[in-house]
Amino acid sequence: MTQLRDPAMKLLDSQRRTPWRGAVRRVGFIAPAAVIVILALIALFPSFFASFFGNGDPRFCDLGSSAEGPTRGHPFGFDLQGCDVYANVIFGTQSSLGVGLLTAVMSTTVAVVVGIIAGYRGGVVDWVLSRLTDVFLGFPFLLGAIVVLTTIGSRTIVSVSLVLALFSWPLQARLMRTSTRTVRGADFVRAAITMGVPTYRILVRYILPNAITPVLVIAAISVGSVIIAESSLTYLGIGLEPPTISWGLQLANGSAHFIRSPHMLVFPALFLATTIISIIVLGDTLRSALDPRRQR
């Protein structure tokens, strides 16, 4: 259907700035955006939020209250080591969101560079970059990450994000290539080429702003799947490691004692699920705002 668009539609496409304004006013935008802003504040200032109930130190643990349920001052109860679950969940926000964002930034950067060059240049460069993209698309996400994470020594927020980015850029690169090719044919790009604008400037000033939107939407949604992937890898024992505080680690520990003390799993899971749901809903709102076919 898309390839049958007439020139008038193409013109409309190039003026698609307005849907952003429409999207911003919807509940589907405001509610998840508010949740994400709060989570970002928690990630930036964890000590402030953690101290609400008077026990804000995630590393202060008392084995005497190991795995006890919620009590006064400890709304989420204690974990197996007797640490306050609330403080840990609050402090875990930083690394979980951190892995998600860092991965998204790295993979989107690579994807944009690869996609824009492949899409604009075409020919042999396009062929080589596209085959490279195909190779990394050949890896099922989690399995690829397992292979690499098994072989690297230390698993920190940065190294885990790097590995996850290694397997999440190709899809976005393909998207960037497609949208670059659409923009490349536009009149204003041809005009710029005719006027002798340097290629680098054409890419950055003309192509990039007009082609990047769909990639950014997918990148935003990918933050959610990356956070989930991190927690699954941590559960398997090849994600983040103990000195770090993360939701994945809490879920991994909590799931082993779920039957006797469900609070250790339920509270971090609630935070994680709320984060992912907000990201998915926000992404969906943006996607449908930007896609005229989906407005119904």
Interaction pattern, residues 102-141, with other proteins; x per rule: CB under 8 A: -----------------------------xx-xxxxxxxx
Q: Considering beta carbons, is residue 191 or 273 the nearer one to other proteins?
A: 273
* Least CB distance to other proteins at residue 215 (A): 19
Q: Nearer to other proteins by C-beta: 210 or 244? A: 244
* Residue in 114, 269, 282, 289 binding other proteins, rule: CB under 8 A: 269
Smallest separation, CB 115 to other proteins (Å):
18
Q: What residues from 191 to 230 belong to the interface with other proteins (CB under 8 A)?
A: 224, 228
Binding mask 143-162 for other proteins (x = CB under 8 A): xx-xxx-xxxx---------
Structure-token pair, residue 185: 């044919």
**By C-beta, is 56 or 254 nearer to other proteins?**
254
- Region from 80-88, 114-122, 199-207, 259-267 binding other proteins, contact rule CB under 8 A: 259-267
- Binding residues for other proteins, rule CB under 8 A, total 45
Distances (CA, A) of 62 to 59, 72, 90, 100, 172: 10, 15, 19, 31, 46
b/e 98-110 (16+ beta carbons within 10 angstroms → b): bbbbbbbebbbeb
d(CA 291, CA 284): 10
Question: Contacts with other proteins in 4-23 (CB under 8 A)?
Answer: none
What one-character DSSP code corresponds to residue 26? S
When the beta carbons of 245 and 265 are compared against other proteins, the nearer one is 265
Q: What contacts 24+ positions apart, CB below 8 Å, involve 116-122?
A: 116/176, 116/177, 116/180, 116/203, 116/207, 116/208, 116/211, 118/173, 118/177, 118/180, 119/176, 119/177, 119/178, 119/179, 119/180, 119/181, 119/184, 119/211, 120/180, 120/184, 120/199, 120/202, 120/203, 120/207
Which C-beta is closer to other proteins: that of 199 or that of 255?
Answer: 255
Cα–Cα nearest to 166, from 132, 198, 199, 193: 132
Gap between the Cα atoms of 63 and 128, Å rounded:
58
From 19-27, 42-50, 96-104, 253-261, span contacting other proteins (CB under 8 A)? 253-261
- Please give the residue ranges that form the binding site for other proteins (CB under 8 A): 131-132, 134-144, 146-148, 150-153, 224, 228, 231-232, 235-238, 248, 251-252, 255, 258-259, 262, 265, 269, 272-273, 276-277, 280-281, 294, 296
